[in-house]
Copies of this chain bind each other. A is one copy, B any other.
C-alpha cells in the first residue's frame, strides 16, 4: 500500500506529523497497515499505540483530531509524512502545540520553547 514497507520494521512505519499551514512538526507516531487503511478511509489520523497495542484514533478522547491534508511517502517507503490540520490547536498530550517543545541549549540543558495551548488536567479528566 502506497509503496510502504511495513515488513522492514516489524509491521510499523513511523509517521511524521506536520501542521499543513505553519510547517511546524507536531509529533511522531507509528502506523501499521490497518491504521493506514483507517486514516485513508476516514481522513483523520489513526496510529498504532505501541503501549496499548491497539489502533489509536488521535483525538478520540480530547477531540483534538488531525484532519489529513496530504500524505507523503519517503524514498525507500519506510516513513510517511502526514500534513494535517490539528483541531484544538495542540497535538501534544501535555497541552503544547507540538511535542517538540523543548530545545537543547549549548550547555546540554533543555529549555521549554513551546506555548501551552490547553491544560491536560481539564481535557483528559472529563
Contacts and interface: CB of A to CB of B under 8 A. Distances in A.
Interface of A: 1-3, 14, 16, 18, 22-25, 27-28, 40, 70-76, 79, 81, 92-94, 96, 99-104, 108, 110, 113
Contacts of A79: 28, 99-100
Contacts of A14: 14, 28
**Identical chains bound together, number:** 2
B102 A70 contact: no
A96 B75 contact: yes
A94 B14 CA distance: 21
Contacts of A93: 75
A89 B116 CA distance: 34
29 contacts: A1-B108, A3-B110, A14-B14, A16-B16, A16-B28, A22-B23, A23-B23, A25-B25, A25-B81, A27-B74, A28-B74, A28-B79, A40-B108, A70-B104, A71-B103, A71-B104, A72-B100, A72-B104, A72-B113, A73-B100, A74-B100, A75-B92, A75-B93, A75-B94, A75-B99, A75-B101, A76-B99, A79-B99, A81-B100
